[in-house]
Amino acid sequence: MKDQESAVAAKAAEEEVDNDPSFWDMFPVDKQVARLISGLIIGGIVLWFLYGLLRYGLVFNITIN
């Protein structure tokens, strides 16, 4: 009887972990699509920041005409 109770408790704990909502679950698209879009946005911001550093001479004092 105790084995059955412990099995039920273990299964309930396992389901609770599986039902834990992920950060990506709040987006209305597939998880991989949400990761791709957010990666492109973050990558674009990083590239824009690096371009600004290069354009305005904050890296190696090189400027683009």
Say whether pTM exceeds 0.75.
no
The tally of CA atoms less than 13 A away on the side-chain side of residue 26 is: 3
What's the pLDDT score for residue 57? 66
pLDDT greater at residue 47 or residue 25: 47
How far apart are alpha carbons 46 and 40 in whole angstroms? 10
In three-state secondary structure terms, 25 is helix
Q: Which alpha helices (DSSP H) does the chain contain, by range?
A: 2-18, 31-55
Q: Per-residue pLDDT tens for 6-36? A: 766 666 655 555 566 777 788 788 888 888 9
Angle at 37 between CA 35 and CA 40, to 5 degrees: 105
